[in-house]
Amino acid sequence: MSWQHRPRCDETPSWALLAAHHAHCFEGPAAFDLRRAFAEDVQRVAAFSFDAPPVFADLSKNLIDREAQQLLNQLARECGVEAHRDAMLRGAPINTSEQRAVTHVHWRWALNQAATPGNQAQTAINSIVSGLPTAAGQLQAMLDCAEAVRTDRAITDVVHIGIGGSDLGPRLVVQALRSGGHSDGPRLHFVANMDGHELAETLLGLKPGSTLFIVASKTFGTAETLRNAQSARAWFEAQGGRDVARHFIAVSANAAAAAAFGAGCCLGFDEGVGGRFSLWSAIGLPIAIAIGRDGFLDLLAGARTMDAHFAGAPIEQNLPLQLALLDLWYRNFLGLHSRCVAPYHHGLRQLPAYLQQLEMESNGKGVDARGRTLAFASAPVTWGQAGSNGQHAFFQMLHQGSEVVPVEFVLVQRPAHALSGHHDKLLANALAQARALMCGQTGDAPERHFPGNRPSTVLMLPDLSARSLGALLSLYEHRTFVLGSLWGINSFDQWGVELGKRHAGEIETALWTHTEGSALDPSTAALLARLKTPPAAT
């Protein structure tokens, strides 16, 4: 099957079979119940567990039975997901609206030309390795730059300025690996928000002579990033800083604009790297500064392990595919509106925010890649918080609320700290929450009744090393791609991001001038007038 002529999920025979199976087995008084499913199937755990080292996944506490699993696997075949995957890996222009290849996976393999991951995946992996010859040089230049910064004792602080994909991925990885003691370079600070309070707070206590600024923007035209970069440069000069070129590095595909800004060097990457998939490229500069060349290479190696699994494992054993199929089952047949991600590790506290962009910006679309309106719901809301904090915030709703929300627990077996009495309690709480969601409780009063039969997934890592984290993030990327592929969506554009930016330009002009805006709606015009009126003294 050609990747350009694949049917959309709702155009396949399996779609109708899934709808019939759902109506027969998941609705009404005899609807599927997890407690009954475990009692009737002693092999359920084995049937719904998947090993993609270093990631282990237990999907057995989800609202799915073996027949639905088989029908979903058939749906993936009928949708040509494997052909679409192979097209992405060999560099075909699967980003059809922008006529581009999707190259973030290629960057992970750029410095690993001799890799031989396994026979099943070898053809696809060979395509990856040869698909982007310029990436190797650009990645090597980034790593050389990172090592130069790490060994420059005059630089004590690095401020990374970016937003969206230029911020969320690097911020997550630096936080995660710093928590495990992997960071031994200069102090890293991240600034994303256009709200000047974030930049002003970050600059407190910094000295221009010992501070390096990284300005990360694919186009070097992102409004928030440029505003922060210009203010940082003004601060640097006002504080007596000299040699802007030495203290400002750009990471961008627009070298000319970076040079015009005054950046001393610009580390580049190709147009096929989407922002939310870009941490593996030169955008990963702050990661390499934090954990060093070897640490960054370990991050890439972990991601390659998952790439090889995704490229070679059959559908029935392919973890990214199985997670995406479960997502589709929940969204389009069970009608669930959101998914809660609960990482039980402080280092992964940024994971829900990272996944919000990865998943909702990729698949939050209302039309397919051919421009047709979708006849079904697309991306659910992704949200969450680190455990065990979330247990004292929203777990009440998860247990007893009127909405059923699948919960994804992310566990790490070995801690990086030596404090006794912490990690065992943390892991026990995570497993207890998953069990309580499933089992529920018959209370002696209505307010003490827990309905149970509430779904959850457990993803488990052996540790929070660079390799484990690389594999986990690669898993989430491939899962997102597969779900978009099933829905017929182009997961690699984001036209919805641009609309608000266009309106902001007109409103900003009107806010600080005497104009009223040419065609503002009454509500916006009234709010604008109020903002322009000096607030009363309090």
Among all residues, which ones are annotated catalytic? 361, 392, 501
Cα 46 vs. chain centroid, distance in angstroms? Answer: 28
Name residues whose C-beta falls within 8 Å of residue 450's C-beta, 6 or more positions apart in sequence: 399, 400, 436, 440, 441, 443
Residue 301, burial from CB neighbour count under 10 angstroms (0-12, 13-18, 19+): middle
Name 4's Cβ contacts closer than 8 Å, sequence gap at least 6. Answer: none
CA 517 distance to own-chain centroid: 37
Cα 288 from Cα 170, distance rounded (Å): 9
Give the dihedral sign, CA 246/184/343/345: negative
d(CA 298, CA 155): 25
Written as one string, the DSSP assignment of 261-310 is HT-SEEE---TTS-GGG-TTTGGGHHHHHHHHHHHHHHHHHHHHHHHHHH
Contact at 8 Å (CB) between 132 and 106?
Answer: yes
Q: Tell how far CA 44 is from the center of its chain.
A: 30
| Gyration radius from the chain CA atoms | 24
Contact 410, 348 (CB under 8 A): yes
* Tokens encoding 426: 């943390």
